[in-house]
Structure 1
Amino acid sequence: MESKRQQKFSKLIQKDLSEIFQRQTKHLFGSMFITVSEVKMSPDLSFAKVYLSFMLAKTPEENIKLINQHKPEIRKFLGNKIAKQVRIVPELAFFLDTTLDNASRIENLLNDIEIPNDDKINPDDYSRDID
C-alpha cells in the first residue's frame, strides 16, 4: 500500500506530465493525444512507473517506444516543473495502460453469457436436488 507521501507525489507527477504531454512535447509527438492514467511511485520517490493511454492510436505499442526514446527530454521538462517541490526528479518508466482494453474484454464476456429467463424455470426440476 502506498503511503500518503507516495500518493501525493504520484498525483503531482501525473498532473505535471499531463501538462507536459499537452503543451511542451508537441514537437516530439505531433498530434498524438496522450493521457497519463496512473503514476506509481517507489517508496523512496526515486522511480515512477507511468501508465499511458492513447486516444485513436492505431499502434499504441509503437507510441510507447517513441515516448521511451524521448525519456531524457521528458524528464528534463518534468524537472523544470517540479524542481522547487522535490529533491530528486524520479527516473521515469513508461508503460501502456491496458485497463480500458481489459474492461472492454470483460464486458464482452459478460454480454456473451446466456442467462435463462425466470419464466421458463420450473422449481420442481430442482426439488430432487434439495432432498
Structure 2
Amino acid sequence: MASLLQQELAAVLQRDLPHLFNGALAPGISTVRVTPDLGQARVYLSLLLGGDAEARLQDIRDNAKAIRQALGKRIRQTVRVVPELIFFHDDSAAYAAHMDQVLGSLNIPPAPKNDDEDDEDQPARPRLFNNE
C-alpha cells in the first residue's frame, strides 16, 4: 500500500497538480508510511530544491485536501478508502550532505608505521596457547 501511494502521489504532484508549486520543482517523495488500519499515511517529502522548504511544506499542507482528492481519482479502482495524508519534511539528504562536509573537513593524521624493530619497547603480549 505504501509503495502504491508513493508512486501515485509522485504522479499527482508532478502531472496533475503542478500549479500548486508556482513554477517550482515538485517535491520528491522519499517515504510513505501507512498506519495498520490504512486510515492515515505519513508522507515524507524531499524539499531540497526550489526555495524555502518550510513555506513549500506549508503550501502542500494547505492543499492536502486537493491532493487527496486527485490521489483518490487515480487509485479509486484499487483501494476502498483513500487514507488521510499527513506531510512531513524529510531532511535526511541535507543532513547526509552536512555530515559529508564535516567528515571531509577533518584533519586526521596518518597512522604511524609499525616496524618490527620497535617491538622491544612494547610490553610483552600474554600467550594464550602454547604454540604462539
- The TM-score with structure 2 as length reference comes to 0.81
Any conservation in 2 of the 1:32–1:54 contact (CA below 8 Å)? no
> Any gaps of 5 or more consecutive residues in structure 1?
1-8
Counterpart in the other structure of 1:106: 99
Q: Which amino acid aligns with 1:27?
A: H
> Any gaps of 5 or more consecutive residues in structure 2?
127-132
State the aligned residue count.
121
Which has the larger share of helix?
1
User: What is the identity percentage for the equivalent residue pairs of Structure 1 and Structure 2?
Assistant: 34
Deviations 1:36-90 (A, max 9, x none): 1111111111110101113532201100000000010000001111111111100
Counterpart in the other structure of 1:53: 46
Counterpart in the other structure of 2:130: none
How far apart, CA to CA, are the structure 2 residues paired with 1:108 and 1:27? Answer: 35
Rg larger in 1 or in 2?
2
How far apart, CA to CA, are the structure 2 residues paired with 1:13 and 1:122? Answer: 55
What displacement does 1:32 show?
A: 2.1
Alignment of 1:1-131 (within 5 A): 9-33=1-25, 34-118=27-111, 121=112, 123=114, 127=122
Q: Which amino acid aligns with 1:116?
A: P
- The alignment partner of 2:86 has SS state of strand
Q: Which amino acid aligns with 1:127?
A: Q
The CA RMSD over aligned residues, in Å, is: 2.2
